[in-house]
Chain A
Amino acid sequence: MSGTGFGRPPLTRNYESFESNDLIEMARKGQKQAFSMLVKRHYGTVMYYLMGFGIKKSDAEDITQEAFINAFRKIDQFKTSGSFVGWLLRIARNQHIDKLRKEKKFDTSGNEFDLLNLPDDRTPEAQVVSDAVVDDLYAGLKPQERVLIELRVFQQMPFSEIAEHLGSSEGNARLVFHRLIVRLRKKFRS
């Protein structure tokens, strides 16, 4: 579906209809609106990803903003053969680590990012977000579970890469995903 709006004048261009790779190419040429569309598309994933670390929503938003600005600066370094979301999450994670280092709160034991082994540690903000959509199938999902579904079902990311992003082992990522699917399936049936 790429290029459905290429023939139109720039002002009337509907960026929503473009695929991410087309938007990335346009952003590389300096089209800010194309990059803004990427921000709109992936904001939630980056936010939930950061909130999954137990980061407050307001802090997560600051890191997300820095991460997107950094991504725009480095957009030439992104290889279109890889996952753009994965690349964004890596930038956001590094941004978070830098922030923790500056605040001298970085845990070098490496346990900091083992998201999939954490108990229910939803931030109050995440709970509010979930509670607002009680009837929804997704209601009550932890931020990291939302990210897991996004990466696996919507981005078709392999478990090895998901594990890398969520600081877990490939086997654990697979196990958590299938358990999550069973939970959703039961909810879906009922």
Chain B
Amino acid sequence: MTDKECKKIIDRAIEDNKVDAATEAHARTCPKCASTLALLALLKTSGSPTSDLKPSAAFLASIESSLTVTAAATSLKAKLLAAVVGAALTATIALTIFSHSSKSETQPGKTSETTSLTSSTEATSASNPAKPEAGADATAFPQLKFPSPTDEIK
């Protein structure tokens, strides 16, 4: 067998992390491959050549303290996000109530409907705080009014 083929056999043994029957049969007739396989087995049992360098206790302590800061920053970010979502939710509910109470002042006949709408918005908000319900009354949200471009011409 050529040197190239022997290298292929060794490569396969390394990649598969095992010696199959064909490789074993070849190793019986090829002293080079037999010796390489024995060497690889020895390397595997003695450990990696990079494992003699070990982190000092100070190095590990320094990493661990940085990880605490990282973890704390992540949890702070999550808390801030929750606070922002909470504030937005409160504002939405407040605006909804305000808008409905304004409407009910001008339309006294619709008082009962306002109450039911507000409570349905609250129920929706509790289940999915970040999303306004698609079916919710669009007039419940404040609308900005711009003057019509034709206003000046008139």
Contacts and interface: CB of A to CB of B under 8 A. Distances in A.
A160 B70 CA distance: 34
Contacts of A36: 60, 63-64
Contact of A43 (B39, B44, B46, B54): B54
A43 B53 contact: yes
Contacts of A61: 59
Interface in B13-59: 14-15, 17, 32, 35-36, 38-40, 42-44, 46, 48-55, 59
27 contacts: A32-B68, A36-B64, A40-B55, A43-B53, A44-B48, A44-B52, A44-B54, A48-B50, A48-B53, A65-B63, A69-B66, A72-B66, A137-B43, A137-B46, A150-B50, A153-B14, A153-B43, A153-B44, A153-B48, A156-B14, A156-B15, A174-B7, A178-B7, A181-B10, A185-B36, A188-B35, A188-B39
Given A65-B62, A174-B11, A185-B35, 16 more contacts: A39-B63, A44-B50, A61-B59, A138-B52, A146-B48, A146-B49, A150-B49, A150-B50, A153-B44, A154-B48, A156-B14, A156-B17, A178-B10, A184-B39, A188-B42, A189-B35
B84 interface: no
Given A181-B39, A188-B42, A47 B63 contact: no
A40 B51 CA distance: 9
A168 interface: no
Interface of B is mostly: helix
Interface residue tally of chain B, by bracket? 20 to 34
B71 interface: yes
Nearest to B71: A30
Interface of A: 30, 32, 35-36, 39-40, 43-45, 47-48, 61, 65, 68-69, 72-73, 129, 133, 137-138, 141, 145-147, 149-150, 152-154, 156, 158, 174, 178, 181, 184-185, 188-189
